[in-house]
Amino acid sequence: MPVPKRKRSRARRDKRFANKGVKETAIALCQQCQHPLIPHQACSDCGFYKGVKVMKTKSDRGLKRKKQQKEKKAPEQETEDKK
């Protein structure tokens, strides 16, 4: 029965498996904003998944915050006008 003449080093042995886990990831485009994203994931740019808004984005929170600040300032201006 044949037997190896020398022990194979760990580096030589492991070279075979070095690229085994590397895979190409698929990239799709968001239906709403055409932003590239991973398939079956909600778009982080606009917050849509399959045409339905499923999460609030940073820009949505900013708009809401500005609206609240305007509403907060409006009553203050009315009280100043009454004086």
Mean pLDDT per 10-residue interval, the chain, length 83 residues: 93 90 88 91 90 88 90 74 61
Query: pLDDT value at position 82?
Result: 62
- Indicate the helix (H) or strand (E) that contains 18: none
Residue ranges of domains in the chain: 25-78
CA-to-CA distance for 37 and 30, rounded, in angstroms? 7
CA-to-CA distance for 30 and 32, rounded, in angstroms? 5
Exposure string over 8-18, b if 16+ CB within 10 A, otherwise e? eeeeeeeeeee
The model's pTM: 0.52
